[in-house]
Amino acid sequence: MQDVAAEAHIHRLQESFNALNYSAEETLDVYGLMLLARLTDEYLADLRTKGLMTGGVSCKGHEAIQVVCARELVVGTDYTLPYYRDLALVIAMGMPLYDIFLNHLGSEADPNSGGRMRPAHWSSRKLGIVSSSGVAATHILHAAGIAFAAQIRQSSAITAAFFGEGATSEGDFHEALNFAGIHRVGALFICENNGVALSTPQSRQMKVKHVVDRASAYGVHGMLVDGSNVFAAAAAIRDAATRARSGGGPVLLEAIIPSQMRMREQPDIYDPVYGLRAFLLQSGKLTEAADTEMRETFTQKIEDAYKLALSADKAGIFAVQDYVYADNPAVNVQEHLQTETSFNIEETLQHD
């Protein structure tokens, strides 16, 4: 039975792949990013197990939707508002592994927040990643506002907010989608539904079967995708981004993320990375040898980035009151962190 189900999954992947028109190179790019995210995620988990690191949240099972979304967002133009589970998203958007480890080490050298936030609260002006707080759903309203500003400025920029299904219980979710629907702003609301908010199952969070069932209540276009099928997810997000970019209004896209248990027990059906690998091997797009080589290269890169981050002794860069207000940044962040972080409103306005 297991084999039949696995075969059926590969068949679904093939069908989605055929509909998508990805080149061989694009396909391997996507697999590479998903694999890099998975290996980084596992490396971080291992460090936590060994007590070498605390904090951070696993993106295991979420890689497909996150990577394909990153591919649709234009760095330098679009705005991305991730939540703490979006490791694969920020990797795929181009955040260096070094920065990711600095962030997880809570280093003052971390360009995301210099140790001011717990790990996995991302921020990169350069990548268009808007700083996120540790409060669920507040950023969904910001996404609506950013998209609204883009509309007023007649910019083609789109704005994507990511969140779990737990955040959709917050009033901010309702207010954001309601507003976005009224003004038909170019926003993508990406719900990564893994069926459980910390410990509370979906059945105790909402009466509807799918988060996306609520879309029509806001006059927002709703889309439901299988988060284990990367090609279906890629096609869906491409359509969603095209719609948002061309004035077609906001989209609520819900990706069904398999539970950790299902992924463990039936990885060939539910684990997006495992499933994609099986498909690529079976269809001759990837060889075992190439896969092994890729893994080894990535593992080395991860290891190197971690060691470099460990050795980055940057204590005392910031005074406690730096950046509380505009008039008290005592240091030049660019100089110290070697990253482009300046806030230039003119540049923002001239993006397109």
Partner 1 sequence: MTERTISMVEALREGLREEMGRDERVVLLGDDIGSAGGIFTATMGLREEFGGGRVWDMPLAENGVVGVGIGAAIGGLRPVAEVQFADFLLSAMSQIVNEAAKLRYRSLGQWSCPIVIRAPYGAGLAGGPDHSQSVETLFAHIPGLKVVAPSTPADTKGLIKASIRDEDPVIFLEQKSLYHQRYGVVSDDEDYVIPLGRAIVRREGKDVSVITYGAMVFESLFAAEMLQREQIDLEIIDIRTLQPLDIDTIGESVSKTNKAIVFHEDTRFSGIGAEIAATIGEELFEFLDGPVIRLGAPFAPIPAKPSLEKEIIPNAAALANAVRRLSRY
Does the footprint of partner 1 cover residue 168 (CB under 8 A)? Answer: no
Does the footprint of partner 1 cover residue 266 (CB under 8 A)? Answer: no
Does the footprint of partner 1 cover residue 117 (CB under 8 A)? Answer: yes
Q: Which residues sit opposite 329 in a β-bridge? A: none
How would you classify the pairing of strands 187-193 and 251-256?
A: parallel
Q: Which of 56, 61, 82, 111 binds partner 1 (CB under 8 A)?
A: 111
CB atoms within 10 A of CB 266: 17
**Residue 128 Cβ, how far from partner 1 at the closest point, in Å?**
11
**Residue 113 Cβ, how far from partner 1 at the closest point, in Å?**
5
Q: Residues 130, 123: contact at Cβ < 8 Å? A: yes
Say how far apart CA 19 and CA 11 lie, in whole Å.
Answer: 13
DSSP H or E segment with residue 49: helix 24-49
User: Which segment (41-49, 139-147, 226-234, 280-288) binds partner 1 by CB under 8 A?
Assistant: 139-147
Shorter beta-carbon distance to partner 1: residue 142 or 277: 142
Shorter beta-carbon distance to partner 1: residue 1 or 345: 345
The pair phi, psi for residue 223, each rounded to 5°, is: -140, 140
Strands (E), 221-339: 221-226, 251-256
What would the DSSP string read from start to end of 210-233? -GGGGGGGGT-EEEEEETT-HHHH
Shorter beta-carbon distance to partner 1: residue 53 or 141: 141
* Residue whose pair of structure tokens reads 């992924």 in the numeric block: 263
* Residue whose pair of structure tokens reads 């400025």 in the numeric block: 153
How would you classify the pairing of strands 200-201 and 196-197?
A: antiparallel
**Residue 79 Cβ, how far from partner 1 at the closest point, in Å?**
7
**From residue 169 to residue 188, what is the string marking binding to partner 1 with x (rule CB under 8 A)?**
--xx--xx-xx--x------
Q: Which of 48, 125, 238, 285 binds partner 1 (CB under 8 A)?
A: 125
Does the footprint of partner 1 cover residue 345 (CB under 8 A)? Answer: yes
Does the footprint of partner 1 cover residue 148 (CB under 8 A)? Answer: yes
Does the footprint of partner 1 cover residue 79 (CB under 8 A)? Answer: yes
What would the DSSP string read from start to end of 270-291? H-HHHHHHHHHHHTTSS-HHHH
**Residue 91 Cβ, how far from partner 1 at the closest point, in Å?**
19
Residues forming the site for partner 1 (CB under 8 A): 79, 111-114, 116-117, 121, 123-125, 130-131, 133, 135, 138, 141-150, 152-153, 159, 171-172, 175-176, 178-179, 182, 318, 322-327, 329, 333, 337, 341, 343, 345, 348-349
